[in-house]
């Protein structure tokens, strides 16, 4: 019978905050509950039914009590709400210098990819003391990546990137669980995160890799012939991708969109969804050809492209070459 | 103690059913209103008001629905309780729409 | 204050000539008289049997799960079987026991009598409601026999529509049909409360049981249809392979969760409000005192009914809704906790300077107040965003909702069963055996579910067939508790059956309580009252009620 | 139209002030016809409230996807023939009128007039469902129905395939549920035509016809919302 912890370890920057809020709640609600139990037992014993105490004396406790236990709980609860929200904001605000790691959930295993190219299954090596941002999507059903000792969790949705970040403050090997029921061996979809000293982490990184994620992405960029349309000098049939990440660009139909992970993914898998303004919808769909890992590599490559400093005209105003072939796009008849 | 109906006989409204009978004319007037509004719906949908098309179409549909509820369904002569039921069911529907779109509208918003 | 001893007063023992007076049980005989009855009391008995069967079916699944969780490795069942066990435990317990139990059994039997009416507004619809429940239940049984379903009682997409190859369609159809049964019961209650109250029974003279049943019926009427449309869409998606909720085909799984929880959170209030209804009755009866702050308790039921519709997305904090929506729902969740707090404080204050009896129903009431308080405050833990991110989908959540459903609703159900047993059957249950079973239930319950709070916060996820070794000790404790709890639930089956034959004959008011149901014989005649009663006393006004009862006895 | 008294021969209740106490259709557990009428009408209104939430859930999901796939919704809606939709709307509002007139007739115990109105309502309802059936067959013929992996019409916009299929799913689900409610209504109408012809209804007892009217008008209101949302995006 191994030792059984009654309280989880704190191994992340946000863990003390969550535990603080948790213990505050335990104390406050515990006190109120204890008060109620004691009062009940005291009344149950003091005013128990005896021959001389057959009918209750109709004295009422003061009516002001009613107001107090309506307003007081409301104030306490709003306080709890505010405390909970502050911690929640801290969990949602991803620091800008975070180490980017990509995760893919698929039925009953976790796959992690580091920017330097390492690929791991059900294991994640991270440096201690540095914020790590995990961008994740699922290949099939909904999973949920949960690091109990870091007190962070987020559902991993199919077809949509979501992020989760933590900053490990303690080295060691800790649990990774899937928290959203996902089928037969949902309980087998577990793993461990290994938090290492930065030096050990560098040594682990150096061990065997086939080039950084971005470099792998570049190979795929050529393999899928993306470079025939997406040229850097803005003369290609597709928009220039260099330096586009994070910018806001207009799309057909007047709206504009922030170029983030989800937009890149959607433009690869369903290019017709949001077409960059001034361009023809000629890009074929890559749905089913590009795997989740390749998507992550391509995205890492696109994000790594530096904004072009050359004198070429800024990408937005470049005039697209009229496309040779006439496309039989169903033009909308209704104005 | 005879159990005759004692005076503060609350909420036992009368004996015969609420005996209100709307005039024939009002039914035909309502019918004509609905016809006109249907034509307006189709006509408005042909004009391209951009984002305004949906709210306008919905407004006309709500007007038509209110007309049917008040006159065809006799809510206008009905006791207070019927009003409460009708209004609360649309109120619950509004709660559903508002809180659904509270999520869908704010999904893109960046953290402050 | 009248000096009569209350214990057996007002002692409206029916005179011997009325002793073998016809009552609803011996009024007519034969299977058809039961299967085609339109009498709300007999329909309540039909519901009592069918609901109890489903309670023990669900209980067996729970016990098998607890046995499996004795060991970290999943060595008793395959993981598929375990997944089916926890799904069926959820589906059977929620759709076939907790939602129909108190409204359909206690509500059907007691509500019309409490209102002084001869029957519910639509007796035929009431019988139809039971038959629809049986059809839905049959689907449930068919699913259990032919292989079960392994999606969890929440049927989350895309697993339930595209990846699970178990009986999802039949289960959702069963739940869809059972939904209509509770809609019809809700409809019946609402109209009866509005239109069929006895003369003199104004809204503020109504027992608090009726107020809470009214609030429950409002929630049933306005929430269950949204479950119906969600399950229709689920079935359409599963059969036609269309992408309403499946992201691969363009749908949004989070939309399914929104629509599902729009029903399922109010459904949690459909389960607890009837429990609160019974507790308000029993607190008044066993302290022989007007419930403190009658209007506050009454209106807090309605407040729960309305606020319950605004909070559903606290089940989705980590599911992918926007940060701002999470803030809105977390704030609203804090508001909905206030009416429950008001009720608990008012029940406690009622016992001040009261005459508290220690009969079994009161033991269950004390248990309810204690455990429901824990259930309620842990709901605040889950409502606070910071903590919810960690504890969502962990055993902390499992413990929270079991404290509300088992510690709350089932404890209240047992209290109601013991409180109205003499009125339903005309016989008293054996007091000491009942107190023993109440103790067993209380101890067994706490031993089962309190360790789960701890193991949940330490990090044991929900719905896990095999878990990490360090959680084993707490799980063994929990399984031990489950055995004691099972004993506590089996005992009443024995002594209730025993009491039918050998129980002491109960007079029309064995507890000396206030209420129209105690002003008629037990078991009551077919038309509840020989002549329509007239209410002249305020709610729970003991002196006035005893005086009125004295007069009816002498006339 | 001669005014036909209650041909059941049941005179009014003996005591004048206990009006409607021993009426053939007064159920035992109600005090008097007034209470029975109030109760059944209120019960029907709660049922309509529940139906509003039922269709409301579908409309809510519809609007979420309409915001998400606006162009696909526009394209999908153009595959509907709005002229047939408009004609159907007029037919349904007409049936609502005849239903209201039937309630008016029942109040005046005008047996023949009420029966005629109910028959007209049934016919108009039948026309509506018939036209819907025609529209369904057209869509299925074009392969425009949910689950139709082969989606031939719009070749070059594969993206719109999925959006339009989602639109068609909502089209079929919502109009299908609406048509189902129409069929149930038609069944009820048949039963009411029999009862009206038998002369059950009069100024004292016309509740059931009014309830039928509430149900029918509700189904009409659902179509009033469905028409602009599905045909005129």
User: Is B106 within 8 Å of chain A by CB?
Assistant: no
Find all residues with CB under 8 Å of A280, minimum gap 6, and list them: A237, A320, A323, A327
pLDDT category, C352, cuts 50, 70, 90?
confident
User: Is D232 within 8 Å of chain A by CB?
Assistant: no
pLDDT category, B16, cuts 50, 70, 90?
low
Predicted pLDDT at A318: 38
Percent of chain C beyond pLDDT 70? Answer: 96
CB atoms within 10 A of CB A44: 20
Predicted pLDDT at D12: 35
Nearest to B62 by CA among D232, D221, D231, D174: D221
Q: Using CB atoms, pick whichever of B6, B95, B109 lies closest to residue C534.
A: B6
- For the cut 90, the answer to whether the pLDDT of residue A292 exceeds it is no
CB contact under 8 A, B111 and A89: yes
Tell me the domains of chain A and their CATH numbers.
15-46+61-92 (no CATH), 99-206 (2.60.40.420), 213-317 (1.10.760.10)
CB contact under 8 A, D158 and A285: yes
Q: Cβ distance D177 to D218 under 8 Å?
A: no
Q: Using CB atoms, pick whichever of B48, B108, B111 lies closest to residue A92.
A: B111
Mean pLDDT (chain C) is 91
Note the pLDDT tens digit of each residue in A19-36. 999 999 999 999 999 999
Q: What are the sequence ranges of the domains in chain C?
A: 38-554
Exposure string for A237-273, b = 16+ CB within 10 A, e = fewer: bbbbbbebbeeebebeeeeebebbbbbbbbbbbbbbb
- H-helix or E-strand spanning residue D46: helix D33-68
Predicted pLDDT at A213: 81
- Looking at CATH, the fold of the domain delimited by C38-554 is given as Cytochrome C Oxidase; Chain A (1.20.210)
Average pLDDT of the segment spanning C108-135? 94
User: Is D96 within 8 Å of chain B by CB?
Assistant: yes
Mean pLDDT (chain A) is 84
Note the pLDDT tens digit of each residue in A81-102. 999 999 999 999 999 889 999 9
Predicted pLDDT at C539: 82
Note the pLDDT tens digit of each residue in C160-204. 988 888 999 999 999 999 999 999 999 999 999 999 999 999 999
**How far is A92 from chain B, CA to nearest CA, in Å?**
8
- Please report all neighbours of A, defined by 3+ CB atom pairs within 8 A: B, C, D
Q: Which residues of C touch D28 (CB under 8 A)?
A: 118
Most confident region among A46-50, C467-471, D5-9 by mean pLDDT: C467-471
- For the cut 80, the answer to whether the pLDDT of residue B2 exceeds it is no
For C535, the closest chain B residue by CA position comes to B6
CB contact under 8 A, B93 and D52: yes
Which residues 22-41 of D have a C-beta within 8 angstroms of C?
A: 27-30, 35, 38-40
In this structure, is residue D46 part of a structural domain? no
State the count of interchain CB pairs (< 8 A) between B and D: 138
Which residues 212-231 of D have a C-beta within 8 angstroms of C?
A: none
Which of C461, C463, C476 to mutate to test binding with chain A, by most A CBs within 10 Å of its CB?
C461
CB contact under 8 A, B89 and D48: yes
Q: Which residues of A touch D78 (CB under 8 A)?
A: 332-334
Note the pLDDT tens digit of each residue in C32-62. 989 999 999 999 999 999 999 999 999 999 9
- Please report all neighbours of C, defined by 3+ CB atom pairs within 8 A: A, B, D
- For the cut 50, the answer to whether the pLDDT of residue D36 exceeds it is yes
User: Is C325 within 8 Å of chain D by CB?
Assistant: no
Which residues 371-410 of C have a C-beta within 8 angstroms of A?
A: 373-374, 377-378, 380-381, 383-390, 392-394
Note the pLDDT tens digit of each residue in D102-126. 999 998 888 899 999 999 999 999 9
In this structure, is residue D15 part of a structural domain? no
For C8, the closest chain A residue by CA position comes to A54
Q: Cβ distance D222 to D88 under 8 Å?
A: no
Q: How many domains does chain D have?
A: 1
| Distance in angstroms (rounded) separating the CA atoms of residues B38 and B28 | 15
CB contact under 8 A, D158 and A272: yes
CB contact under 8 A, C459 and A58: no
Question: Using the 8-state DSSP alphabet, how is residue A145 labeled?
Answer: E
Predicted pLDDT at C17: 47
User: Which range among A164-173, A294-303, C82-91, C331-340 shows the weakest confidence by mean pLDDT?
Assistant: A294-303
Predicted pLDDT at D9: 34
Classify the complex by whether its ipTM is higher than 0.90, answering yes or no.
Answer: no
Report pTM: 0.89
CB contact under 8 A, C309 and B92: yes
Average pLDDT of the segment spanning C439-445? 96
Percent of chain C beyond pLDDT 90? Answer: 75
| Distance in angstroms (rounded) separating the CA atoms of residues C496 and B106 | 56
| Distance in angstroms (rounded) separating the CA atoms of residues D219 and D207 | 19
Note the pLDDT tens digit of each residue in A176-211. 999 999 999 999 999 999 999 999 888 888 875 667
- For the cut 60, the answer to whether the pLDDT of residue C531 exceeds it is yes
Predicted pLDDT at C138: 96
Conformation bin of residue D147: beta by default, left when phi > 0, alpha when psi is -120 to 50: left
- H-helix or E-strand spanning residue B101: helix B80-105
Predicted pLDDT at A319: 40
Predicted pLDDT at C451: 95
Q: Cβ distance C362 to C282 under 8 Å?
A: yes
In this structure, is residue D61 part of a structural domain? yes
Average pLDDT of the segment spanning C229-244? 90
Note the pLDDT tens digit of each residue in D166-203. 898 999 999 999 999 999 999 999 999 999 988 888 88
D232 half-sphere exposure, CB direction, 13 A CA radius: 30
pLDDT category, C465, cuts 50, 70, 90?
very high
| Distance in angstroms (rounded) separating the CA atoms of residues C390 and C375 | 18
Q: Cβ distance D188 to B1 under 8 Å?
A: no
Beta bridge partners of A158: A138
| Distance in angstroms (rounded) separating the CA atoms of residues B26 and B72 | 9
Q: Which residues of D touch A329 (CB under 8 A)?
A: 156-157
Tokens coding D39? 């109760």
In order of A89, C146, C320, C415, the CA distances from A100 in angstroms are 20, 48, 20, 57
| Distance in angstroms (rounded) separating the CA atoms of residues D198 and D8 | 9
Percent of chain D beyond pLDDT 70? Answer: 85
For D78, the closest chain A residue by CA position comes to A334
Q: Cβ distance A104 to A293 under 8 Å?
A: yes
- For the cut 80, the answer to whether the pLDDT of residue C7 exceeds it is no
Predicted pLDDT at A325: 37
Predicted pLDDT at C420: 95
- Helix (H, G, I), strand (E, B), or coil: what is residue C148? coil
User: Is B16 within 8 Å of chain A by CB?
Assistant: no
Q: Using CB atoms, pick whichever of A86, A107, A158 lies closest to residue C248.
A: A158
State the count of interchain CB pairs (< 8 A) between B and C: 61
For A254, the closest chain B residue by CA position comes to B50
- For the cut 90, the answer to whether the pLDDT of residue A173 exceeds it is yes
CB contact under 8 A, D166 and C229: no
Predicted pLDDT at A1: 47
| Distance in angstroms (rounded) separating the CA atoms of residues C212 and C235 | 34
Average pLDDT of the segment spanning B47-74? 90
Average pLDDT of the segment spanning C540-551? 79
Question: Using the 8-state DSSP alphabet, how is residue C408 labeled?
Answer: I
pLDDT category, D23, cuts 50, 70, 90?
confident
For A91, the closest chain B residue by CA position comes to B111
Note the pLDDT tens digit of each residue in D51-98. 999 999 999 999 999 988 888 888 888 888 889 999 999 999 999 999
CB contact under 8 A, D45 and B82: yes
CB contact under 8 A, A187 and C358: no
- Please report all neighbours of D, defined by 3+ CB atom pairs within 8 A: A, B, C
For C527, the closest chain D residue by CA position comes to D29
Q: Which residues of C touch D165 (CB under 8 A)?
A: 242-243, 249-250
| Distance in angstroms (rounded) separating the CA atoms of residues D62 and B93 | 14
User: Is B99 within 8 Å of chain C by CB?
Assistant: yes
- For the cut 70, the answer to whether the pLDDT of residue A165 exceeds it is yes
- For the cut 70, the answer to whether the pLDDT of residue B64 exceeds it is yes
CB contact under 8 A, C313 and B99: yes
**How far is D35 from chain C, CA to nearest CA, in Å?**
7
Q: Which residues of D touch B14 (CB under 8 A)?
A: 34
User: Is D105 within 8 Å of chain B by CB?
Assistant: no
- For the cut 80, the answer to whether the pLDDT of residue C550 exceeds it is no
Predicted pLDDT at C534: 87
In this structure, is residue D58 part of a structural domain? yes
- Please report all neighbours of B, defined by 3+ CB atom pairs within 8 A: A, C, D
For A260, the closest chain B residue by CA position comes to B108
Average pLDDT of the segment spanning A271-300? 83
Note the pLDDT tens digit of each residue in A211-251. 778 888 888 888 888 888 888 777 788 888 888 888 888 88
User: Which CATH number does the domain housing residue D67 bear?
Assistant: 1.20.120.80
Q: Using CB atoms, pick whichever of A273, A327, A332 lies closest to residue D74.
A: A332
Residue range of the domain that includes D69: 51-231
pLDDT category, C515, cuts 50, 70, 90?
confident
- For the cut 50, the answer to whether the pLDDT of residue C285 exceeds it is yes
């Amino acid at each position: 019978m191994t030792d059984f912890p009654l309280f989880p370890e704190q191994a992340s920057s946000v863990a003390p905050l969550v535990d603080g809020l948790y213990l505050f709640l335990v104390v406050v609600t515990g006190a109120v509950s204890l008060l109620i139990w004691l009062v009940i037992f005291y009344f149950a014993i003091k005013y128990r039914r005896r021959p001389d105490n057959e009918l209750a004396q109709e004295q009422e406790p003061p009516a002001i009590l009613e107001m107090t236990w309506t307003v007081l709980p409301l104030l306490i609860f709003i306080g709890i709400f505010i405390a909970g929200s502050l911690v929640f904001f801290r969990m949602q605000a991803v620091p800008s210098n975070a180490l980017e790691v990509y995760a893919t959930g698929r039925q009953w295993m976790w796959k992690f990819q580091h920017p330097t190219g390492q690929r791991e299954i059900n294991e994640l090596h991270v440096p201690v003391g540095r914020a790590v941002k995990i961008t994740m999507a699922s290949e099939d059903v909904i999973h949920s990546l949960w690091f109990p000792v870091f007190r962070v969790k987020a559902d991993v949705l199919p077809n949509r990137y979501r992020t989760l970040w933590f900053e490990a403050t303690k080295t060691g090997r800790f649990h990774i669980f899937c928290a959203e029921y996902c089928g037969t061996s949902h309980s087998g979809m577990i793993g461990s995160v290994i938090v290492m000293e930065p030096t050990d982490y560098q040594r682990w990184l150096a061990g065997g890799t086939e080039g950084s994620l971005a470099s792998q992405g570049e190979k795929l960029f050529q393999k899928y012939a993306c470079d025939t349309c997406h040229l850097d000098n803005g003369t290609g049939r597709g928009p220039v991708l260099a330096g586009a990440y994070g910018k806001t660009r207009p799309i057909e139909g007047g709206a504009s969109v922030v170029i983030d992970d989800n937009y890149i993914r959607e433009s690869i898998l369903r290019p017709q969804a949001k077409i960059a303004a001034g361009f023809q919808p000629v890009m074929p769909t890559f749905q089913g050809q590009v795997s989740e890992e390749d998507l992550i590599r391509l995205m890492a490559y696109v994000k790594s492209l530096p904004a072009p400093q050359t004198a070429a005209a800024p990408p937005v105003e470049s005039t697209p070459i009229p496309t040779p072939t006439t496309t039989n796009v169903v033009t909308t008849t209704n104005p | 103690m005879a159990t005759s109906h004692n005076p503060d006989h609350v909420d036992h409204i009368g004996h015969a059913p609420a005996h209100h009978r709307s005039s024939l004319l009002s039914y035909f007037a309502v019918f004509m209103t609905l016809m006109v509004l249907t034509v307006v719906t189709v006509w408005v949908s042909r004009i391209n008001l951009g984002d305004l098309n949906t709210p306008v179409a919905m407004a006309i549909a709500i007007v038509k629905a209110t007309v049917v509820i008040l006159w065809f369904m006799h809510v206008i002569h009905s006791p207070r309780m019927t009003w409460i039921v009708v209004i609360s069911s649309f109120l619950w529907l509004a709660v559903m729409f508002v809180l659904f779109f509270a999520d869908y509208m704010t999904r893109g918003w960046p953290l402050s | 204050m009248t000096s009569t001893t209350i214990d057996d007063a007002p002692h409206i023992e029916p005179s011997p000539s009325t002793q073998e007076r016809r009552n609803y049980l011996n009024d007519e005989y034969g299977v058809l008289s039961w299967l085609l009855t339109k009498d709300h009391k007999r329909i309540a008995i039909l519901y009592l049997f069918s609901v109890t069967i489903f309670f023990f079916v669900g209980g067996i699944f729970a016990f098998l799960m607890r046995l499996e969780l004795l060991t970290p490795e999943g060595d008793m069942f395959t993981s598929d079987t375990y997944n089916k066990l926890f799904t069926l435990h959820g589906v059977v317990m929620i759709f076939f026991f907790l939602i129909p139990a108190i409204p359909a059994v206690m509500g059907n039997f007691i509500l019309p009598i409490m209102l002084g009416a001869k029957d519910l507004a639509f007796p035929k619809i009431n019988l139809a409601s039971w038959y629809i429940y049986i059809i839905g239940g049959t689907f449930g049984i068919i699913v259990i026999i032919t292989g079960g379903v392994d999606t969890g009682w929440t049927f989350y997409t895309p697993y339930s529509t595209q990846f699970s190859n178990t009986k999802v369609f039949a289960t959702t159809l069963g739940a869809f049909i059972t939904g209509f049964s509770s809609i019809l019961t809700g409809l019946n209650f609402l109209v009866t409360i509005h239109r069929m109250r006895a003369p003199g029974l104004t809204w503020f003279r109504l027992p608090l049981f009726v107020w809470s049943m009214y609030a429950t019926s409002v929630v049933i009427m306005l929430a269950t249809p949204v479950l119906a449309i969600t399950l229709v869409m689920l079935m359409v998606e599963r059969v036609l392979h269309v992408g309403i909720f499946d992201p691969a085909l363009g749908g949004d799984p989070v939309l399914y969760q929104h629509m599902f929880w729009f029903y399922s959170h109010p459904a949690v209030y459909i389960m607890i409000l009837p429990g609160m209804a019974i507790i308000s009755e029993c607190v008044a009866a066993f302290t022989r005192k007007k419930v403190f702050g009658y209007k506050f308790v009454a209106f807090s039921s309605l407040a729960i009914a309305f606020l319950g519709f605004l909070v559903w997305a606290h089940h989705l904090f980590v599911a992918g809704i926007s940060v701002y929506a999470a803030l809105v729902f977390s704030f609203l969740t804090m508001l909905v906790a206030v009416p429950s707090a008001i009720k608990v404080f008012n029940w406690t204050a009622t016992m001040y300077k009261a005459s508290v009896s220690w009969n079994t129903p009161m033991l269950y009431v004390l248990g309810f107040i204690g455990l429901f308080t824990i259930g309620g405050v842990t709901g605040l833990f889950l409502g606070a965003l910071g903590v919810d991110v960690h504890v969502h989908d962990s055993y902390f959540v499992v413990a929270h909702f079991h404290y509300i459903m088992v510690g709350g609703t089932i404890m209240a159900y047992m209290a109601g069963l013991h409180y109205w047993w003499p009125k339903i059957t005309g016989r008293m249950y054996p007091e000491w055996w009942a107190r023993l079973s109440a103790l067993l239930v209380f101890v067994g319950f706490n031993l089962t579910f309190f360790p789960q709070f701890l193991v949940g916060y330490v990090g044991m996820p929900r719905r896990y067939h095999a878990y990490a070794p360090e959680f084993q000790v707490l799980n063994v404790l929990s399984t031990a508790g489950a055995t004691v709890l099972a004993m506590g639930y089996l005992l009443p089956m024995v002594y209730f059956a025993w009491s039918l034959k050998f129980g002491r004959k109960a007079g029309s008011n064995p507890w000396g309580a206030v209420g129209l149901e105690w002003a008629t014989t037990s078991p009551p005649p077919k038309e509840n009252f020989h002549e329509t009663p007239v209410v002249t006393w305020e709610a729970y006004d003991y002196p006035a009620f005893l005086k009125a009862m004295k007069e009816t006895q002498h006339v | 139209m001669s005014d036909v008294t209650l041909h059941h021969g049941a005179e009014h209740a003996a005591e004048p002030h206990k009006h409607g106490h021993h009426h053939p259709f007064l159920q035992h557990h109600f005090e008097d016809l007034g209470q029975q009428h109030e109760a059944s009408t209120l019960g029907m209104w709660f049922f309509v409230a529940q139906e509003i939430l039922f269709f409301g859930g579908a409309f809510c999901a519809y609007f979420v996807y309409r915001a998400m796939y606006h162009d696909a919704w526009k394209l999908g809606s153009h595959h509907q023939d709005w002229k047939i939709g408009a004609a159907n709307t007029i037919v349904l509002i007409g049936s609502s009128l005849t239903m209201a007139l039937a309630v008016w007739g029942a109040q005046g115990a005008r047996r023949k007039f009420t029966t005629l109105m109910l028959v007209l309502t049934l016919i108009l309802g039948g026309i509506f469902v018939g036209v819907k059936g025609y529209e369904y067959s057209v869509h299925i013929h074009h392969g425009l129905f949910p689950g139709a992996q082969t989606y031939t019409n719009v070749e070059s916009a594969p993206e719109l395939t999925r959006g339009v299929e989602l639109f068609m799913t909502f089209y079929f689900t919502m109009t299908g549920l609406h048509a189902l409610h129409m069929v149930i209504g038609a069944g009820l109408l048949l039963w009411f035509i029999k009862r009206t012809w038998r002369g059950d209804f009069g100024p004292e007892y016309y509740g059931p016809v009014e309830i039928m009217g509430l149900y029918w008008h509700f189904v009409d209101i659902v179509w009033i919302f469905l028409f602009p949302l599905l045909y005129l995006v």
